[in-house]
Amino acid sequence: MVDLLEKHKGMADRFQRMLDMGINGLGVTNDQMLSPTRAMVGNREIILAGTNNYMGITFEPSVIAAGQKALAEFGSGTTGSRIANGSFAMHKELERSLAEFLRLKHCIVFTTGYQANLGMLSGLAGPKDTIYLDADSHSSIYDGCTLSGAKLVRFRHNDAADLDKRMARSEGEEGGKLVVLEGIYSMLGDRAPLADFVALKQKHDFQLLVDDAHSFGVLGPNGRGLGDEAGLEDGVDFVIGTFSKSVGAIGGFGASNHPLFETLRYAMRPYMFTASSSPASVATSIAALKVLKEQPERRAKLWANSERLFNGLRALGLQTGTDVVSPVIAVKMPDELTTITKWNALFQAGVYVNMAVPPGTPNRLCLLRCSVSAAHTEAEIDRIIAIFKEAVA
């Protein structure tokens, strides 16, 4: 008999080596949440600097109240897919609210952000089509491409000239062409040079999708994402996002002005065969979206905090993933052993960040990944910097 799990023996050994060096950095349990930026882990109070809670919205009273009200009025779950019996009026309300926020005509919400990428990519592209994919794209994007059955062509990260060359080589092939970018790339915190890619659209006649998972609510004067920041929203054909970052809930969405966009509901298997989001999650998303609209000062605070942490870590001589300020601030480490050692030192001193190692990172980088929140105080940011100075620099 071939043991199906034997192939994971190397991973198990690698995981055990991490445990032998200290705490399980990939499975920290928050025993009590004190605020969006602090938690109790065992008997230790920890500053949270790796949560993706960009807007610090998870403890907003109006958001919590909306979830509680929906739980009482609509129950704990939908017990079905949107196609079967899982659509409630609030699902449609959320779609309308998102479409209005994005200034787009159509929006489809999904149960998770991961599912949004699986559904959108497999619904948009098929076996006769080609997806051109930034090499540093998130795993959910790669998995969506696999599910689509489309031909996959990777181009160098953020390199429109490389995409231009690869498209020129495939000129005349049948099927449609979809180019996929991300607003803010989740590991290093850099973002796609959107203008460079939009400039290629007329030359190569493709459609463009931007995954704004980490940039929705964050980038642009209105918080609509990468297109909003670049002033090029009309150059983007499809937008994907998630509720698990700035919105502080669970779910995802796809949106577009395309007149046939709604037909995707009946073509996307991850949408058709997954139970829809729970009433409480949908209601909190609606309420959080309202907060994002009415409180742009949260976004200003996020960027002030990001600049403070970014400059503070760079002043220590640490090498960051990008030279441009971003709410995702990754500190590069020389190897996995050092990453685990320094992560444990940070945690013991009272700061939680993400331990990011291959294969979850681009180019096999090892990172201590921070994500900044609008809810962080200046004192917390300064404390994070001080602990990095003691434990890492």
178 beta partners: 131, 207
Comparing CA positions, the residue from 187, 250, 249 lying closest to residue 50 is: 187
Amino acid in the structure at residue 140: S
Cβ-Cβ contacts under 8 Å for 218 (sequence gap 6 or more): 54, 183, 184, 225, 245, 246, 299, 302, 327
Please identify every residue annotated as catalytic.
186, 214, 245
- Separation of alpha carbons 336 and 365, rounded Å: 9
Report helix, strand or coil for 238: strand
Which strand ranges, in their side-by-side order, compose the sheet holding 177-182?
106-110, 252-256, 238-242, 207-211, 177-182, 130-134, 151-155
Give the CA distances from residue 268 to residues 94, 120, 133, 178, in Å, rounded to whole numbers and listed in that order: 19, 7, 20, 16
Q: Which helix (H) or strand (E) holds 211?
A: strand 207-211
Report helix, strand or coil for 262: helix
Comparing CA positions, the residue from 87, 91, 83, 143 lying closest to residue 117 is: 143
* Size of the chain, expressed as the number of residues it contains: 393
- Separation of alpha carbons 160 and 195, rounded Å: 9
- Separation of alpha carbons 260 and 187, rounded Å: 34
185: left (phi > 0), else alpha (psi -120 to 50), else beta? Answer: beta
Report helix, strand or coil for 183: coil
Q: Quick check: 356 and 36 in contact, CB under 8 A?
A: no
Give the CA distances from residue 27 to residues 53, 277, 352, 354, in Å, rounded to whole numbers and listed in that order: 18, 25, 12, 10
